Amino acid sequence: MENTFNIISDRLLEMVPLIGLYAETHFRFRIPFSRYFKQEPELIFDTPWRLEPGQKLSIFLVVKDAHLYPIQLESVGVDIFQHNQKLCSQSWELNQEVQDRQTDYEFSFGDCDLPLGEVEIFPTLTYSISGKQRHMQVDNYHGTHKTPLRVTIAEHGLPKLAGWQTGDTHLHSSFTDDQIEFGASLKQTRKAAQLLGLDFISATDHSYDLDDEPDNYLKNDPELEKWKQSRELITDLNKEDILTIIPGEEISVANARGATVHFLHFNDPVYFPGSGDSGEDWPKLNSQLSIDDVLAQRSPQTVSVGAHTAYKFPWFQRVLLRRGFWESQDHNNLELDGVQILCGTPAYSAFHTSRQLWIDALLKGSKLGVYGGSDGHGNLNRNWHVTLPMWSLGTHEDQIFAQSRTIIRSASSDTTALIDAMKKRRTALSTGPMGDLAVSLKGKVYGVGDTLSANKDNALKLSIRGASTEEFGSLMDVSLYAGDLESQAETLLFHESELSNEFEINLDFAVPGEAYLRMEISSDGSRWPGIYVSSPIWIETNSKT
């Protein structure tokens, strides 16, 4: 059954872009025909797919390209159902004309007490264009199914353990804006993160978007005003001390074969160009920098992570834009800090290929932290995307905001502490369950990402912990792996299934030589499979044996 599901998922994903995005529908590539073109701004209702206990539900309305098609927003109405029974309704009068390039609105439910479990949300917008009144439910995209937004009203918070911070390290904001896609505002994304239960988010907008003129994505700006605006906004938002936003960039770079891959680059005060797969100067497709170039030129206290390493782009993007993936040799640079092996859900084979490439690199001696992330461009509740340019749009529930998360071992969620922990490979990924691994030697405790020195055959004390909830699968399948760098093979050191809620297990381990230990947890989850993967604890052997 699992193999069949993987094959079906791969074939479906092969037909759509890898990235999750709000779809830009007004650019027509000098072609007079576009099946989904509409003389209206893009109008999208969105809300996080879950609501953390203690939070009040908010619905967002995104209005894009009203500078091209001015709109009169008249009213918003929202009905909420559970099991086909209406729970409550609320409406807001707007009577507002909008002519901005992009703006968003938040509608908060103050008086509606929502029951636990999944609810269905039916939002409706009444608006006028050129004096003609119209109505829209969920979105005004041509050809998408107007199914309700689904939200899980959580009984328990996101599974967490003390000393760990949870967030999404691959996100795009409204600074990503081009011929195909755009993202949500950073302020809206931050609020969504609060509602969902995160400690931090990132802003990894495309390098080929950040060097555009602020109001014209068809023209590059040598002064980098848009990139500067993004840094200033992140700084200002972080001063509000609500939730940390890690500044970043997704750089298009050349891999060892010369194909374009993507690099998540965090906390660098310097902009890095990358436009090989942007289509801005097609058919010129060479990226300005390679993986090694970025790692050689980056500033101190930055973190560089391979993005969605084995997730293959659709065939037309591979052919027309020369997009590739991170291959084995691309993992070898010792300056590389980590790899994002999970992008969305773990339900299809690209995750398993990414995971194996990472393991192979570990066994060859690379010290790579592991990362998850959504690659979401807005898409708080579902993935709106261009299925075929100029022809069709679609939706699905993969690569939505915070579906896949990075967990960072840090006592604090401020940027400096998070970056320091990321540099030290103190990371894990999760779509639900949470874990932790610790090793004790001579009274000193080492955690995920640490390196300890020991003599061969030294006895180590291992502690593995985990936690989950019914929402993410309360029964957990737990595995502990030992990697032997001499034989370049992994061994399953411990495995137990159906561990529930919270657990702690203690084990003994004799050092075999140069090695590492890492932990995985899986669970049934709810909407998608639950998975947790930790970065290793590395073991170096002393010359004295």
Contacts of 397 (CB under 8 A, 6+ apart): 49, 382, 383, 527, 528
pTM reported for the whole predicted model: 0.94
Structure tokens given for 158: 């996101």
What is the CATH number for 494?
2.60.40.10
Q: What is the mean pLDDT of residues 172-197?
A: 95
Same-domain pairing of 414 and 439 = no
The pLDDT assigned to 348 comes to 80
CB 485 within 8 A of CB 511: no
Same-domain pairing of 470 and 515 = yes
The pLDDT assigned to 545 comes to 40
Q: How confident is the model at residue 6 (pLDDT cuts 50, 70, 90)?
A: very low
Domain termination residue (choose one: 368, 400, 421): 421
Same-domain pairing of 413 and 320 = yes
Same-domain pairing of 268 and 344 = yes
Amino acid identity of residue 335, one-letter, is E
Question: Has residue 8 got a pLDDT over 80?
Answer: no
- Cα distances (Å, whole numbers) of residue 171 to 210, 253, 284, 371: 14, 18, 27, 13
Angle at 516 between CA 418 and CA 266, to 5 degrees: 25
Q: In the 3-class helix/strand/coil scheme, how is 140-177 assigned residue by residue?
A: CCCCCCCCCEEEEECCCCCCCCCCEEEEECCEEECCCE
Q: Which residue has the tokens 């560089």?
A: 304
The pLDDT assigned to 18 comes to 35
Nearest to residue 351, comparing CAs of 50, 21, 18? Answer: 18
CA separation for the pair 1, 17 (Å, rounded):
25
The pLDDT assigned to 349 comes to 87
Question: Has residue 368 got a pLDDT over 60?
Answer: yes
Under DSSP, the state recorded for 34 is -
Q: How confident is the model at residue 115 (pLDDT cuts 50, 70, 90)?
A: very high
Structure tokens given for 212: 């555009």
Is 428 inside a domain boundary?
Answer: no
Angle at 126 between CA 36 and CA 215, to 5 degrees: 55
The pLDDT assigned to 543 comes to 64
439 versus 391: which is more confidently predicted? 439
Same-domain pairing of 169 and 306 = yes
Classify 334 as helix, strand or coil: coil
CB 106 within 8 A of CB 115: no
Candidate from 22-31, 49-58, 358-367, 524-533 with smallest mean pLDDT: 22-31
The pLDDT assigned to 77 comes to 97
Classify 324 as helix, strand or coil: coil
Same-domain pairing of 314 and 461 = no
Strands 212-213 and 489-500: unpaired
What is the CATH number for 176?
3.20.20.140
The pLDDT assigned to 11 comes to 36
Which domain covers residue 437, as residue numbers?
433-541
Query: For 264-319, what is each residue's pLDDT tens digit?
Result: 999 999 999 999 888 777 777 889 999 999 999 999 999 999 999 998 777 767 76
Residue % of the chain over a pLDDT of 70: 95
Is 288 inside a domain boundary?
Answer: yes
Q: Identify the bridge partners of residue 342 per DSSP, sorted by sequence position.
A: 372
Candidate from 108-122, 326-340, 409-423 with smallest mean pLDDT: 108-122
The pLDDT assigned to 105 comes to 98
The pLDDT assigned to 7 comes to 34
Is 426 inside a domain boundary?
Answer: no
Domain termination residue (choose one: 362, 391, 421): 421
CB 208 within 8 A of CB 178: yes
Total domains, the chain:
2
Nearest to residue 237, comparing CAs of 100, 104, 415? Answer: 415
Q: How confident is the model at residue 541 (pLDDT cuts 50, 70, 90)?
A: very high
Question: Has residue 5 got a pLDDT over 70?
Answer: no
Same-domain pairing of 364 and 459 = no
CA separation for the pair 389, 349 (Å, rounded):
26
Is 427 inside a domain boundary?
Answer: no
Is 520 inside a domain boundary?
Answer: yes
Question: Has residue 20 got a pLDDT over 70?
Answer: no
Burial of 526 by CB count in 10 Å (0-12 exposed, 13-18 middle, 19+ buried)? middle
Burial of 340 by CB count in 10 Å (0-12 exposed, 13-18 middle, 19+ buried)? buried
CA separation for the pair 283, 276 (Å, rounded):
10
Same-domain pairing of 88 and 134 = yes
Please state whether the peptide bond connecting residue 283 to the residue before it is cis, i.e. omega within 30 degrees of 0.
yes
Is 304 inside a domain boundary?
Answer: yes
Structure tokens given for 390: 């100029």
Q: In the 3-class helix/strand/coil scheme, how is 440-492 assigned residue by residue?
A: EECCEEEECCCEEEECCCCEEEEEEEEECCHHHCCEEEEEEEEEECCCCEEEE
Torsion sign, CA atoms 27, 28, 33, 35: negative
Same-domain pairing of 465 and 380 = no
Q: What is the mean pLDDT of residues 236-252?
A: 97
Same-domain pairing of 391 and 504 = no
Same-domain pairing of 363 and 457 = no
Same-domain pairing of 233 and 347 = yes
CA separation for the pair 413, 246 (Å, rounded):
10
Question: Has residue 19 got a pLDDT over 70?
Answer: no
Q: What b/e sequence results for 72-106 when a residue is b if at least 16 CB atoms lie within 10 Å of its CB, and e otherwise?
A: bbbebbbbbeeeeeebeebeeebeeebeebbbbbe
Torsion sign, CA atoms 374, 182, 269, 288: positive
Query: For 25-64, what is each residue's pLDDT tens digit?
Result: 998 777 778 899 999 999 999 999 999 999 999 999 999 9
- Cα distances (Å, whole numbers) of residue 47 to 106, 111, 139, 275, 422: 10, 18, 12, 32, 29
Domain termination residue (choose one: 388, 421, 454): 421
526 versus 230: which is more confidently predicted? 230
Is 266 inside a domain boundary?
Answer: yes
Q: How confident is the model at residue 66 (pLDDT cuts 50, 70, 90)?
A: very high
Question: Has residue 233 got a pLDDT over 50?
Answer: yes
For all residues of the chain together, what is the average pLDDT?
A: 92
CB 156 within 8 A of CB 362: no
Is 270 inside a domain boundary?
Answer: yes
Query: For 78-106, what is each residue's pLDDT tens digit?
Result: 999 999 999 999 999 999 999 999 999 99
